[in-house]
Structure 1
Amino acid sequence: MLDTLRRIVQEVNSAADLKSALDLMARRVRDAMGTEVCSIYLLDSSGQRYVLMASEGLKREAIGRVSLGIAEGLIGQVGLREEPINLEDAFVHPKFHYLSETGEDPFHAFLGVPVMHHGRVLGVLVVQQRDARRFDQSEEAFLVTISAQLSAVVAHARATGALDDLDTQELLPKIYDGQPGASGAAIGTAVLLFPPADLGSVPDREPENIDAEVSLLESALMRVRTDVRALADRAKGRLGNEEQALFDVYLRMLDKHALAGEIVAKIREGHWAQGALRIVIEAHIRNFELMDDEYLRERAADVRDLGRRVLAELQSRNRRVQEFPEQSILLGEEITPTMLMEVPQDRIKGIAAVQGSRNSHMAIVARAMGIPTVVGAQGMPLKQLDGKEVIVDGFRGRLVANASVELKQQFEAIIAEELTLQAGLEKLRELPAETEDGYRIQVQVNTGLMTDISRSLERGAEGVGLYRTEIPFMMRDRFPSEEEQRQIYREQLQAFAPYPVTMRTLDVGGDKALPYFPIKEENPFLGWRGIRVTLDHPEIFMVQVRAMLKASQGLDNLRIMLPMVTSVFEAEDAQHLIHRAWLEVCEEGIDVPMPPVGVMIEVPAAVYQARALAQRVDFLSVGTNDLTQYLLAVDRNNRQVADLYNSYHPAVLHALMLVVEAAREEEKPVSVCGEMAGEPGSALLLTAMGFQALSMNASNLLKVKAAIRKVKIGFARKLLNEVLAMDNGEVISSYVDLQLEKAGLGELLHHRRSV
């Protein structure tokens, strides 16, 4: 049965399109189980009707025409219960609904299982038989396993728009749910970003000039042939005749009578070169993967490799410069900070990505840039949305397409209201973050981009609580030199002087990778990252610290912060290297004082060693993003568990209290530089706890300052004491919102501003 399952999955995944995949699965499942009927019903985009999309055994003319309501019949019952229903005689079940169009009169035995993806029902998979009998446990288990495989196919089809033909009202607004990545709303033209040399991401586009596309393809093929011949020459003497022959195979495949000719034919049919290449290569890969002979199946990898080589050549010549309208909404499977930096900043009005979560690195960068963002929107048909007008709702985490006039007007009103709120907060720019009864706290910014500087100063930032030094590293194809780093750091230090600038030493690993320094691990968040990397590579660490020290000459506002510290030994080793770098800089005749050195508290081990760490360093700063992740064992980039990520969780709040108390006992300053600092509600709780500084994205600074200035410290402390007695993070979050509403701060709450 396992071999049968594997074969079915392989064939279905290799199908040319969704219809073929569904038909194939219905046919193969019916044959494998020896039943007389196998049918697949899928929910339409409204989520209100199950449409019969494939069947082996029922009338062919019913496919695509017959549908059932969400709670109608046994199909609806399977979806509502979200579990299998196995009946000896379906006709006697009270929920049985007879559909004469399907010709199901003779079939009594019924087994239906839900097709689910990320907790949502996408459809129902059914087998039926004439004899009145219950399907046995092994049959039920097999069908459940098949439905799990089918769910991935259907989810992908929804994401690529292949299920749009289920929509009976095409002009209705389409809403694709995800998570809020950065608050705000934006209306603009969708622009699809796709990574280089990734065939699966290439969108469908019509060519502007067919002959020009053919010429581009032929030039790319010529360069690939040259590269393959060069590889063959270099391989002579090192490979045997059999391996050497592979290069000849590559060259024959690129011949005009083989792949090249097929791709040209597709261009002539009306596809641009990259799209034509994708169609032909994917078709050949499917054909090879379906072959019985193992050697021939392996040739699919050769075709894929060739396709990537040709695509890379097409893209490297920048055959079509991507245009970005003034109101661009960036769409993509996964949009990285690097991809974001390649787009003209003044044209990005919104972002929506299929992958990622609110606390992924891209979302953090988007918040720093003040760009409304939606992440984890897995139902987006990217290729179909490219070039269309869409709305990003970063308050509720959704993308809207085909918006009605009324809906668009509502979002235009929200955007105008948000601009009015920001304008009203501008008057607070020069005022301190001080409660009504005089309790003062510093509000600082998290930076990493040069554009952060002006935005931060415009909002009255009192220094930098976190400068992410890894971002300049991520923007390059090599490690920046000491002098390059010095210039970058000098600009930050000079811009904010005399306010302090806290520079975090290189923090890579986890979800932050350098293209020229890859770290590949099965569990990167528990792996080689942060201080672990730089202590293992003191040559990188020393260059960076020397650059920081030289950049601070004459300014004396540098603070150095160590990330991902889990023990006092790491802090001591890093301090030793920092002191050594300082001595080297002094020996060069550069007069700079030894800067304060602190650690980030972002893992549970550091929470429980906070006092010991405070005894050895000059300050503590809590990174609540990672701290929440590690305390709750929730990968903050994993959409499946994103709902469990909650900074209001009692464990997080009590851990923060432990850190504040440890710092107070050692009389060391303590701050927060995580996302909690940038939300008005949690910022008030952190103020009440005793944190002396809050560092956040510039876009949130005035809202946090407004919240602090509109309450008394007694209000915040009372609220803190009340929530510390609660045992549920969701309840705490709702209670904080309620109390802020009562205090007249409702307009500052992000999620209230949506339709």
Structure 2
Amino acid sequence: MLSVLRNIVLEVNAAESLDEVLGIIVSRVRMAMGTEVCSVYIRDRNETRYVFRATEGLNADQVGHLSLAPGEGLVGLVAEREEPVNLEDAELHPNFQLLPNIGEESFHAFLGVPIIHQRDVLGVLVVQQARRRRFDESEEAFLVTMSAQLAGVIAHARVTGEVPDESSPERASAYARISGVPGAPGIAIGTAVVVSPVADLYAVPRQLSDDRRGELRAFKRALSQVRIDIESVAENLRDKLSPEDLALFDVYIGILDDSRIGGEVASLIKSGLWAQGALAQVMIEHIRHFEAMEHSYLRERAVDVKDLGERVLGYLQADQRDNQVFPEKTILVSEELTASLLGEIPRDRLVGLISVRGSSNSHVAILARAMGIPTVMGAVDLPYKRLRDMSVVIDGYNGNVHLNPTKAVIRRFQEIADQDAELNKGLESLRDLPCITLDDQRLTLWVNTGLMADVARSLDRGAEGVGLYRTEVPFLMRERFPSEEEQRQIYREQLEAFAPRPVTMRTLDVGGDKALPYFPIEEANPFLGWRGIRVTLDHPEILLAQVRAMLKANEGLGNLRIMLPMISNIPELEEALELIYRCQRELEEEGLEMPLPPIGVMVEVPSAIYQARALARRVDFLSVGSNDLTQYLLAVDRNNARVSDLYHAFHPALLDALIQVADGAHAEGKQVSICGELAGNPMAAVLLLAMGYNMLSMNVTSLPRVKHAIRSITASEAKILLGEVRQMESGQAVEERLSTFFHERDLQQMMPAPID
């Protein structure tokens, strides 16, 4: 059954439309289970009825015409109960209802399973048989597995309008909202431009072309280039390979001939597909054909076909990039955005970014925040291949993407964008004012940086220093580890730009969701694996070069602070400190006077909470990384949109942990700061002030709002508020109390945008 399931999944993934998917499902499931009927019912867009959409074994003429309400008939019962219904004789069940002219009178055995996507029942998958019998557990499990495969396809189809409602059978695209992860704050309204990562056959968007001859010419040019490449490689290896091995290159060239795969691609182009889409469709079909073969030698040929396809695609993409036209308000969409893709778009036309994969910590998200471009990352349910030229609204505050928004939706978000612009302009007067409460308690506001582009915006907004400089960014922007001297120059530039303000440089923090292309870390559970200080302690040459570069960059300035990420125990910290002391000794032996800068620890893992005082005893400061600390405390991947509702910044456990860290640092007479997203939330800033945090470090965009909020309250009322929320047992209750507090003080505009 497993091989059958795998083959069905391969076919489903290769299908071009929902109707094709449904046809494959009902046909293959009926055959695999040996039943006489397999049907699919899909909920219409009005969310009122389950429409008979596909069948093998019943009257296909009724497809699209018959429907059932939730709770109506056995199909409605499956949908209402959200669990399988397995009956030996369906007619005896009180919910049984015979649909007219569908032809199910002679079928008795019934098994229906719900098609559920993120708690939403999208439809019902049904098998029926004339013989009276109960389907066994393995058959039920198989059908549940198939419904899970179908769920994602239907969810995408609803977004693109392939699931029509009863009153509008035409398949025009419908308004839909897709959830992702906030990458950079703000609102963007524009037109989607879909781009593919370089030479990724599986990421090519689907689109038609008005210039069939031009697309055909481009394809033939690409084929010629690949033939030249292969012939060149073969010639270079002629003296090193046997005639049998060299013959393999002739096979490669033959695959691209007009009579074989090349001819199939050309036919699709002539039918109206653009060249990249035609190539991807044909190559993926052949790749999956080889992958499904039983013989290992033939299965391995899938790799050769994929390599050939990607070579041709690379030339096609280069040709397209030379002729790409971007609309005035471009929203760039990709399966996985990269810095190189971002750099291809004229900055004056780029208003927003959407990436199916990636996180708020990815290089692109960091760049987007530095450039002030609203961004949503991790929009895993986005049918990005079908979004070309679609109207899109990005809500970068909450990580939502609105496709085909109505005029009312556009108007609403435009109002929010206008209010944001007006508010930011009104807060400019706060730039040179201190962040101080009405009863004179001082709170220092720093910024998180990673690029020189951050510097000017940070200083313009009144940043008093840098609480987190992400040193991994220069590493991400290269194809190799930067040398010690290259690092020194980069760090010097940052330190000089902010001098005499302090700059807190975090040592290299890779792993988890931050991978260097030239130093890949592949693990089953990367967030609990080899990351942060664990990597650089295992590779002390990396840490030593980095710290030496930092110390040299600090010469004559004295505003450097060094911070160690992902510390989970005391021996780990002591080992890292010894390497830093060694760097200082080595530089002094070279005749350089290098005073040791303040050294701190990032509190990101639960163990560090309970050892906060012991850690503080050994360093100069503690700094909470609230993003990671929250996800580890709550066991919620902060980059996973499917569980984002469980990632709650005001969870009572997190508030208690933050208090414990602050108390531990102060007990040793050390300062404590926070440099996660929580610091940039004005509501959270009020609580952090009351907890005793000395510095908050945030995205530069958030700085004026946090400053305004703190300058509008007293420290004493913040402490009273903290006492109140500590008695609450849910993050939602805490957030509601904070919202009331802000409304009572006319500070609602400072709150994160509460957009649905």
User: Which residue matches 1:62?
Assistant: 62
What aligned pairs does 1:68-107 form with structure 2 within 5 A after superposition? 68-91=68-91, 93-107=93-107
User: Which residue matches 2:51?
Assistant: 51
The one-letter amino acid of 1:175's match is A
- Alignment equivalent of 2:526, drawn from 524, 532, 541: 524
- Alignment equivalent of 1:308, drawn from 302, 310, 316: 310
Q: Answer yes or no: is the 8 Å Cα contact 1:485–1:547 preserved in 2.
A: yes
User: Which residue matches 1:606?
Assistant: 608
Shift of the alpha carbon at 1:691?
0.7
Q: Answer yes or no: is the 8 Å Cα contact 2:73–2:95 preserved in 1.
A: yes
Q: Answer yes or no: is the 8 Å Cα contact 1:42–1:53 preserved in 2.
A: yes
User: Which residue matches 2:140?
Assistant: 140
What aligned pairs does 1:496-511 form with structure 2 within 5 A after superposition? 496-511=498-513
Separation in 2 of the partners of 1:574 and 1:323? 51
Separation in 2 of the partners of 1:171 and 1:18? 14
Give secondary structure in 2 for the equivalent of 1:634: coil
Deviations 1:222-273 (A, max 9, x none): 3323433454456668777766543332121122332223323333333333
- Determine if the alignment matches structure 1 residue 150 to structure 2 residue 119: no
Deviations 1:140-190 (A, max 9, x none): 233223322333444455577765799646568512220451443221111
Shift of the alpha carbon at 1:94?
4.6
Q: Answer yes or no: is the 8 Å Cα contact 1:184–1:371 preserved in 2.
A: yes
Taking a change above 3 Å as real, the CA distance of residues 191 and 683 of structure 1, as seen in their structure-2 partners, is same
Q: Answer yes or no: is the 8 Å Cα contact 1:469–1:505 preserved in 2.
A: yes
Taking a change above 3 Å as real, the CA distance of residues 275 and 15 of structure 1, as seen in their structure-2 partners, is closer
User: Which residue matches 2:638?
Assistant: 636
Give secondary structure in 1 for the equivalent of 2:416: helix
TM-score (norm 1): 0.92
Shift of the alpha carbon at 1:25?
2.0
Give secondary structure in 2 for the equivalent of 1:190: strand
Structure 1 alignment gaps of length 5 or more: none
What aligned pairs does 1:713-732 form with structure 2 within 5 A after superposition? 713-732=715-734
The one-letter amino acid of 2:528's match is L
Shift of the alpha carbon at 1:499?
1.0
Shift of the alpha carbon at 1:128?
2.0
Shift of the alpha carbon at 1:200?
1.5
Taking a change above 3 Å as real, the CA distance of residues 386 and 254 of structure 1, as seen in their structure-2 partners, is same
User: Which residue matches 2:35?
Assistant: 35
Q: Answer yes or no: is the 8 Å Cα contact 1:179–1:357 preserved in 2.
A: no
TM-score (norm 2): 0.92
Taking a change above 3 Å as real, the CA distance of residues 168 and 250 of structure 1, as seen in their structure-2 partners, is same
Separation in 1 of the partners of 2:477 and 2:362? 17
Taking a change above 3 Å as real, the CA distance of residues 102 and 324 of structure 1, as seen in their structure-2 partners, is same
Bigger shift: residues 593-602 or 483-492: 483-492
What aligned pairs does 1:297-696 form with structure 2 within 5 A after superposition? 297-316=299-318, 319-336=321-338, 339-340=341-342, 343-356=345-358, 362-363=364-365, 366-586=368-588, 590-696=592-698
Deviations 1:434-482 (A, max 9, x none): 1111111101100112221111111111100001111121112222233
Q: Answer yes or no: is the 8 Å Cα contact 2:181–2:640 preserved in 1.
A: no
Aligned length: 754
Separation in 1 of the partners of 2:343 and 2:438? 41
Separation in 2 of the partners of 1:670 and 1:99? 68
Give secondary structure in 1 for the equivalent of 2:581: helix
Separation in 2 of the partners of 1:549 and 1:578? 10
The one-letter amino acid of 1:222's match is S
Q: Answer yes or no: is the 8 Å Cα contact 2:291–2:300 preserved in 1.
A: yes
Deviations 1:201-220 (A, max 9, x none): 11234557555444433343
Bigger shift: residues 127-136 or 245-254: 127-136
Separation in 2 of the partners of 1:456 and 1:418? 18
Q: Answer yes or no: is the 8 Å Cα contact 1:490–1:551 preserved in 2.
A: yes
Give secondary structure in 2 for the equivalent of 1:418: helix
The one-letter amino acid of 2:442's match is R
What aligned pairs does 1:691-706 form with structure 2 within 5 A after superposition? 691-706=693-708
Bigger shift: residues 81-90 or 343-352: 343-352
Bigger shift: residues 373-382 or 470-479: 373-382
What aligned pairs does 1:235-274 form with structure 2 within 5 A after superposition? 245-274=247-276
Shift of the alpha carbon at 1:16?
5.5
The one-letter amino acid of 2:194's match is L
Structure 2 alignment gaps of length 5 or more: none
Shift of the alpha carbon at 1:196?
0.9
Taking a change above 3 Å as real, the CA distance of residues 179 and 260 of structure 1, as seen in their structure-2 partners, is closer
Separation in 2 of the partners of 1:732 and 1:326? 42
Bigger shift: residues 163-172 or 28-37: 163-172
The one-letter amino acid of 1:482's match is E
Give secondary structure in 2 for the equivalent of 1:750: coil
User: Which residue matches 1:178?
Assistant: 179
Identity %: 55
Shift of the alpha carbon at 1:725?
2.4
Deviations 1:291-324 (A, max 9, x none): 5655444433322221112212333566535444
Q: Answer yes or no: is the 8 Å Cα contact 1:53–1:64 preserved in 2.
A: yes
Deviations 1:571-606 (A, max 9, x none): 233233323333444555555432111111111222
Deviations 1:688-728 (A, max 9, x none): 11110000000111111111111111121112122222232
Give secondary structure in 2 for the equivalent of 1:113: strand
Shift of the alpha carbon at 1:12?
3.9
Separation in 1 of the partners of 2:224 and 2:19? 37
- Alignment equivalent of 2:709, drawn from 700, 707, 710: 707
Taking a change above 3 Å as real, the CA distance of residues 147 and 222 of structure 1, as seen in their structure-2 partners, is same
User: Which residue matches 2:752?
Assistant: 750
Give secondary structure in 1 for the equivalent of 2:670: coil
Taking a change above 3 Å as real, the CA distance of residues 298 and 14 of structure 1, as seen in their structure-2 partners, is farther
- Determine if the alignment matches structure 1 residue 111 to structure 2 residue 128: no
Taking a change above 3 Å as real, the CA distance of residues 286 and 19 of structure 1, as seen in their structure-2 partners, is farther
The one-letter amino acid of 1:402's match is N
Give secondary structure in 2 for the equivalent of 1:695: strand
Taking a change above 3 Å as real, the CA distance of residues 405 and 118 of structure 1, as seen in their structure-2 partners, is closer
Separation in 2 of the partners of 1:75 and 1:419? 51
The one-letter amino acid of 2:576's match is A
Q: Answer yes or no: is the 8 Å Cα contact 1:359–1:636 preserved in 2.
A: no
The one-letter amino acid of 1:554's match is G
- Determine if the alignment matches structure 1 residue 198 to structure 2 residue 200: yes
Q: Answer yes or no: is the 8 Å Cα contact 1:160–1:380 preserved in 2.
A: no
The one-letter amino acid of 2:438's match is E
Shift of the alpha carbon at 1:277?
1.3
Q: Answer yes or no: is the 8 Å Cα contact 2:159–2:173 preserved in 1.
A: no
Q: Answer yes or no: is the 8 Å Cα contact 2:111–2:135 preserved in 1.
A: yes
Bigger shift: residues 226-235 or 569-578: 226-235
Taking a change above 3 Å as real, the CA distance of residues 450 and 222 of structure 1, as seen in their structure-2 partners, is same
Separation in 1 of the partners of 2:467 and 2:343? 23
The one-letter amino acid of 2:520's match is P
Q: Answer yes or no: is the 8 Å Cα contact 2:366–2:450 preserved in 1.
A: no
Give secondary structure in 1 for the equivalent of 2:442: coil
Taking a change above 3 Å as real, the CA distance of residues 655 and 362 of structure 1, as seen in their structure-2 partners, is farther
Shift of the alpha carbon at 1:423?
1.6
Give secondary structure in 1 for the equivalent of 2:336: coil
Shift of the alpha carbon at 1:625?
0.8
Separation in 2 of the partners of 1:47 and 1:487? 59
Give secondary structure in 2 for the equivalent of 1:506: coil
